[in-house]
Structures are given as C-alpha cells and as structure tokens.
Amino acid sequence: MSRPEEEEAQLDEEMADDPDVEEPEDDGDDGDEDDGDEGEEGAATAAGSSGAAAVASSSKKAAKGIAKDKDAKEKKARSLQDRCNLTLPIGRITKQLKRGGYAKRVAVGGSVFLTSVIEYVTAEILELAGNAAKDQGKNRILPRHIQLAIRSDEELNKYMSNVTIAGGGVIPNVHSQFLPRKSGGKDAGGVEMSQEF
C-alpha cells in the first residue's frame, strides 16, 4: 500500500475505536478558504501549537475524503443487472451459457446482450397476450391467450413457427371453400342446394 492509503487506513481504525470522534459534517466548502470561524484549528494556532493544527486539518480533510470514498463505493456496489436496467438475471444466463458448452469462454457483454433480447421478446409476448386476455374479459393470461398473441403477430409467428404451446388450441379459421355460397339465381326454383353434383 502507498503512504496515503496507509494513513487513511490508520484514520479509519482510530475513528472506529474512539467513540467520541464524530465525522465532520460537509458544509459545502473544501476547506481551502477560512470562514473566519474560530474552531479547533484557530484555537490551536492561537495557542502556538501550529503542528497540532496541521494534524487536525489533515485529519479533517482525510475524514471528508473517507466519507466521499464510502459514498463512491456505495454507488459502485450496484449489480450489473441494475446498471443495465434489466429484470432477468444476467448471472444465471451466463452460468447456463457456460454450462451449455457453446464456447470455451463467455464474455460478459454476450450474456448481457442475450439477457436483454430474451427480456424484450418475453415482454412483447406478454403484452400481446395481456391484450388478448382483456379482449376476452379475463384477468389471467392463459396458454390460449399466448397462442393467440403469437399467431396473430406476423414476426412472432414466423419466429415461433415450429413451437407447439400446450393448451394453446388452434387459431379459429374456416377455409373459404367450406363457407356456404350465396345464391345467385342459378338453381332451379330458387331452392338452395347444399352440394352440387
């Protein structure tokens, strides 16, 4: 460790051991200017012990630096998932990528990208399925709603063309040949025949 880091470590230990020592409040100034307030430093210099004042001022500045370092560490403590603003766990997807044996090494960026893509596709499907559930007057998304959502969207249908959803049912569709023909006056007597021979 370098000399300033050793001094900061000593100050941390001393402040932790001594219950009477309070951390100084940050009043917005950096300690470069003198406000005219006679504090510990002013009294010490007036008494003639300039060495004690220098130690007190350096410890005060170091204490402020320590407080700023703690705040910086708290800001850095955010997880990768929070920093990327994702809901799905990046660590689990990274672990599954490593376990799958797709490559010898897995980069962090790759797992973040894959996580964001999975989250986007999931959100898109759930949004469409929620709309399908609301259209049917339901509060709960069922597999049928997911099926209707995927098959009604052109891109999702193409992406999931080989996927079978259990309990999803089929898309309601009647072929045009099976629909009854409209009478055009061809038939004798105006009676509509169900089949032509």
* Per-residue pLDDT, 66: 65
* Per-residue pLDDT, 47: 46
Q: What is the mean pLDDT of residues 134-154?
A: 95
Confidence of residue 46 (pLDDT cuts 50, 70, 90): very low
Contact between 120 and 141 under an 8 Å Cβ cutoff? The reply is no
Question: Left (φ > 0), alpha (ψ -120 to 50) or beta: where does 174 sit?
Answer: beta
Contacts made by residues 130-136, CB under 8 angstroms, sequence distance 24+ = none
| Angle at the Cα of 186 from the Cα atoms of 181 and 188, rounded to 5 degrees | 115
Q: What is the mean pLDDT of residues 4-22?
A: 59
Q: What is the mean pLDDT of residues 38-45?
A: 46
The predicted-structure confidence for 92-138, as pLDDT tens digits, reads as follows 999 999 999 999 999 999 999 999 999 999 999 999 999 999 999 99
**Cα 177 to Cα 148: distance, rounded to the nearest angstrom:** 24
